[in-house]
Structure 1
C-alpha cells in the first residue's frame, strides 16, 4: 500500500454520527484530502482540521437532488473515491449510481437486492436459512392477528423492528407467550417486528471489508463492558480470533456477493455450541476507531479496494479497548483508573479528541446553548 500518494475522498452523507469515527481513521494518514457534504449547516465536524472542504446543501426529500449535489462536488474537486458511510446514503447511491457523472469514482457498493436483504432482518433470516447459515429461529409479526406464528418458537424470545433503529433500540425480551401477547395487545405498531428465539450465550461481532464476496480485511471483537443496557452497544471490546465464526461470516459474505463494508452482529449459542448470525449492519460502525487501534483502518482500505489496489489481509492485535463512556464508567467504579495514562492514551478514543478538539468543543457549546434556551421562560 502506497500511503505517500494523495487520495481525495468525498463523503456525501456527512450528517451521520458515524462521520466522527471515519475521520478519526483518516486522521492517521498524511496524504488524505477529505471533502464533506452535509445537510446540517452547523455540523461540528466541519471544524475538524482533517476536513479539507465542507459543503452544505439544504436537506431535500429528492434522491435526485442529492445525486446532483454529488455531481456538483465532482465538478468542483478532483475526487477519486465517493465513500458513503451510512445506510441511507449507501442505498441511495446504489439505487441511482447510473446518474453519477463519474461512475468510476464510486466506492464499492453491493447490489440493491443484496443490500436490502442484509438490512431487513426478516429477509436476512430467510436468506440465512436458505444458505444453511446458523441463526436464531425468527418470525415476522405486523399485527396481533399473526400472533399464532410464534407457536413454533421456544421461549424466551426477543422482539425488534424488522428495519431501521439501531443501538439496541426497540429490543425487548419476553419469557413467555403470555407476556408477548399482552405486549402486542396493548401496542399499535407502525412497523413490522421480528420475533426471535433468545440465545443463551454472549455477543460477538465481526467487521469486514469485502469485494465480490471475498473478505479483504476483518476484525473480530467481543464486548467486555456492558453499555446502557443488555442490548445496547458495549462500552468496551476485546479483539480476538475465532476460526469457526470467521468461516460463518466468510460463507455469508460470499452468499451475498458483498461489496464494501459490513458489521455482523453475532451471538455464541452455548447450548448448540455455534456462532449464530443475528443481523448485518450494512455500513460503517461506531467501533471503527477500535479496529484502527487494533491495526485495521477500514475506511482507508475501503478507498484502496475501490480504486483496485491489491493488499494482503491485515493482521490485527488482540487488544482491549474502551470508548469515552467506558472511561467515565471505569473512573466512577475505581478512581485509580485515571492513573492508567498509557492505556487511556493508547486504547481509547481520547487520542483522537486531543489531536482534533474543535468538533468536540463546538458540539459541547452547541448543546449547552440549546439546554439554556430550553430552560428560558416561554
Structure 2
C-alpha cells in the first residue's frame, strides 16, 4: 500500500495503489480487473483490440489501447509504452491478465519502473504451461499423473489406431491450449469420428482417469504457499479441503521455487482418496472471482498481502449464473453465497451480462448438447 505525505496513519493519507492491467482479451481479464478493484486498487488497462469492452466496466479507471497482441517480439516497444504509462498515471503495480501476459511480464518485469505482480520466470512458466513438459515433470518427481505419450501429429495417431495400439478410453489434447480447447475423448464406439476432430500438432495422448474433476489454486512466494483454495466445478463452484492434493501441489511449487499464482487441474478417483495431477496453469484462472467473494483475493495477495491473508473459502458453495437463475423457481434453495455472488454480478451489470450471455451462452449450450449426445450413445449403443 502506498502512503502519501502528511500525518502517517490518518485515513486521508492512505493512497489507493494504482495498477496497470495488461489485457489481451475480455472474459478472463475481467475477473482480474474485478479482483484488483476489490483489493482497493485504481485499475488502468493497457488493452488490445479484443479487450476494449473492459473500458465499459465501472471499475476501469482508464483504458489505453495497445495496437497489437502482447508478444515478446514487441517487448522493447512495450517496455517503453508501459514505463511511459507508469510515469504519467502514477502506476504502482503492473499485473498480467492471462497466460501470455504472465509469461511476458516474467520476461520484461526487470525493465519496468514499477513493481510487478509476482510471476515465474519464462523457463518455469513453459515447463508448467506445456502439458507434455508438465507430464514429464510429474514423472520425474514421482507425482501421480496419467500415462502419457507425445505424438507428432494426426498421422501418427491414425497409424497407432490402425495397428491396434490404442486402448480406450483415451484423451487427446494440444500441449499449449487453454481450457478444454482441442481436448477430445477417444472411445472405442466413436473413435473414427473423433479422430477427424484432431487437426493439431503435436498431440499429447493420455489414459483417461475415471473419477471427478477437482482443482487447486495457490499463491506462492519463492516456492512457499501463502494461500490456497481447493474447489470442484458442478453447476457452480464448491470449495472443499483435500490434504493429498494440497501436498502434491505444494511439492511442485517448492521444487520450482515458484512465485505467483499456480493452478492445477486434477482428477479424484472414485474411491475419493487417490488423486491424479492432470494439468497445470501458472497464471490467474477463470473462476478466481468466486474465490474472491468467498474470501481469498488472489490479486490482492500480490499487491497488498497484509490485507488479504486472513479469510478462508473452505466449505462454501456458489451457484453459477445459470444455476442461480433456475433457483428462482425454488427460492428456498438460495443461500447466502448465492446472494453474495448476485450482488457481485449486479455491481457491474453491463460487462457481466455481455460476457455471460453473448460470449458464454453459446458455449454452454454446445457443451450441454455434446454431453447429451454422448449420454444417448452410451445408453443405447454400448
Pick the TM interval, shorter chain: 0.7 to 0.9
- Runs ≥4 residues deviating over 6 A: 149-153, 361-367
2:150 aligns to what SS in structure 1?
strand
Aligned position for 1:344: 338
Structure 2 gaps of 5+ residues are: 3-10, 360-382
Shift of 1:117: 0.8
The change in CA–CA distance for 1:326 and 1:364 in structure 2 (over 3 A counts) is: closer
Alignment of 1:64-213 (within 5 A): 64=75, 65-98=77-110, 100-102=111-113, 105-143=115-153, 144-145=155-156, 148=160, 155-166=168-179, 168-176=180-188, 180=191, 183-184=194-195, 186=196, 189-213=199-223
Cα RMSD between the aligned structures?
3.3
Report deviation, 1:59: 1.7
Does the 8 A contact of 1:199 with 1:267 survive in 2?
A: yes
Distance in 1 (alpha carbons) for counterparts of 2:352 and 2:184: 33
1:363–1:291: structure 2 CA closer, same or farther, 3 Å change rule? closer
Between stretches 59-68 and 125-134, larger displacement belongs to 59-68
Q: Deviations over 1:289-326 (max 9, x none)?
A: 11112210111112235xxx698565324110122133
TM-superposed deviation, 1:77: 1.9
Structure 1 residue 136 displacement after superposition: 0.8
C-alpha change, 1:363 and 1:49, in structure 2 (3 Å) is: same
Matched length: 343
Mapping of 1:330-369 within 5 angstroms? 330-331=326-327, 335-337=329-331, 340=334, 342-346=336-340, 348=341, 350-360=342-352
Q: TM-score, normalised by structure 2?
A: 0.79
Contact kept in structure 1, 2:297 and 2:308, CA below 8 Å: no
Query: Aligned residue for 1:290?
Result: 290
| Structure having greater relative contact order (Cα 8 Å, sep ≥ 6) | 1
How far is 1:212 from its partner? 1.1
Structure number with higher helix proportion:
2
Counterpart contact for 1:268–1:276, Cα < 8 Å: yes
Shift of 1:42: 7.4
| Inter-partner Cα distance in structure 1 for 2:200 and 2:166 | 23
1:365, distance to aligned residue in structure 2 (A): 11
SS at match of 2:96: coil
- Structure 2 partner of 1:268: 268
**Cα distance, 1:335–1:311 mapped onto 2, change above 3 Å:** closer
Which runs of 5 or more structure 1 residues have no equivalent in the other structure? 226-235, 368-378
Asked whether the equivalents of residues 9 and 79 of structure 1 are also in contact (C-alpha less than 8 Å), the reply is yes
